[in-house]
Structure 1
Amino acid sequence: MNTILHEVYEWVYSIIIALAIAMVIHIFFFQPTRVSGESMVPTLHNGEYLIVSKLGHVMGDVPDYGDIVIIDSRVLYERTWKDDVTEPMNNYLAFFNHDLQTKNVWVKRVIGRPGDTLAFRDGKVWRNGEPLDEPYINEPMNYSRKDEIKIPEGYVFCMGDNRNHSSDSRFIGPVPVDHVLGKVIW
């Protein structure tokens, strides 16, 4: 009987250690996720699986132009370390249960960085007075506005590649850098 208890203890101990290591990797290094929706067509499609690097989020780095990132779309919500711990658990549930979606986590492309001025006219995005060359978009954008947007320090501006069918920074505003949860690497 003592040998059986020892064997069970060894198995439980190994499983707990493996889960702890997996959670650390998931929270701080890499995270699998799934595309939900059509806002990134033609680059990404509904149901595609992605691997996201969390290193930039952990380090507080500002992503580069053109990076495809996952964001917490609740731009007025103040994120804490608790969100970084619970988000992977919710993501795992959504990853394995296709009916469960994390509605506030979006996949978008970085268009503007701190200090940039963006304008939307003639079916294009203009950054700092120059039209962007965007071969990745699905079709010309049917969105324009008279005033320009100045991206504040500590924020980025993110848009979907399917501009006419994307909820993004045009509607929620610039995204705080701490709401950029990771960069898609595969």
Structure 2
Amino acid sequence: MSEFTPRSAKHGRRRRRGNDEAWEWVQALAVAVVLALIIRYFIFSPFSVSGPSMMSTLHNNDLVIVNKVLYMFRDPKPGEVIVFHATEEKDYIKRVIALPGQTVSAYNNVVRVNGESIEEPYIDEGNRTADFGPVKVPEGHVFVMGDNRMNSSDSRNPEVGPVPIDHVVGRADVIFWPLKDFQVLW
């Protein structure tokens, strides 16, 4: 005995299969978009460097990936490059120099934390640090400076001052653009 399936029934199954496949693609794309948004807004975020304050580590228009999760588990550490809310409209990128309760100063081109000079391999020779301080970093704050010390608006500037830790967006982890400057920052 042979089965006979009317032509319209075969056509209906193909159409249903096509609709099912289209629906699966829509679901897959929706999941991909949601995951991308979660990653973008809660885990990693691109940041565009604006200005010369972090030269020679970072240059104007470099794009970096900012890790937004790390500081949910620990506070920033000295030497880390962070992005923070400087104003409601503007984010800055600078390097952590001192932590809450520490005293920071500079004299004769040497930065000191609690009276001890710090190693700064990221500073180009000839890049000067103007004398300042001493400044005691308030609890719940970090003291930040740009790597281009003579051209940086940072914690030495009263308008910026020590940065509240709750204003820190995250740690800059990777320079990803331009490709010739690709580099891990920690």
Is 1:164 the equivalent of 2:164? no
TM-score, length basis structure 1: 0.73
Contact 1:140/1:163 (<8 A) preserved: yes
After the TM superposition, which residues 122-161 of structure 1 pair with which residues of structure 2 at under 5 Å, given as runs?
122-138=108-124, 139-141=127-129, 143-145=130-132, 147-161=133-147
Aligned to 1:53: 67
Q: How many residues get paired?
A: 156
CA root-mean-square deviation: 2.3
Distance 1:13 1:166 in 2: 48
Aligned to 2:5: none
**Structure 2: stretches of 5+ with no match in the other structure:** 1-14, 175-186
Equivalent position amino acid for 1:32 in 2? P
TM-score, length basis structure 2: 0.73
In proportion to residue count, which structure has more strand? 2
What stretches of structure 1 move > 3 A for 4+ residues in a row?
A: 2-16
In proportion to residue count, which structure has more helix? 1
**Deviations, residues 67-94 of structure 1 (Å, cap 9, x unaligned):** 01111113xx6xxxxxxxxxxxxxxxxx
**Deviations, residues 38-84 of structure 1 (Å, cap 9, x unaligned):** 1111111112121111112333x21111001111113xx6xxxxxxx
Equivalent position amino acid for 1:183 in 2? R
What is the aligned counterpart of 1:28 among 42, 56, 59? 42
Distance 2:101 2:171 in 1: 21
Higher RCO (CA-CA < 8 Å; seq separation 6+):
1
Is 1:121 the equivalent of 2:135? no
Equivalent position amino acid for 1:144 in 2? D
Distance 2:91 2:61 in 1: 14
**Structure 1: stretches of 5+ with no match in the other structure:** 78-102
Contact 1:50/1:184 (<8 A) preserved: yes
Distance 1:11 1:5 in 2: 10
Q: Give 1:11 shift.
A: 5.4
Contact 1:110/1:157 (<8 A) preserved: yes
What is the aligned counterpart of 1:173 among 161, 165, 172? 161
Q: Using the TM superposition, name which of 171-180 and 5-14 deviates more.
A: 5-14
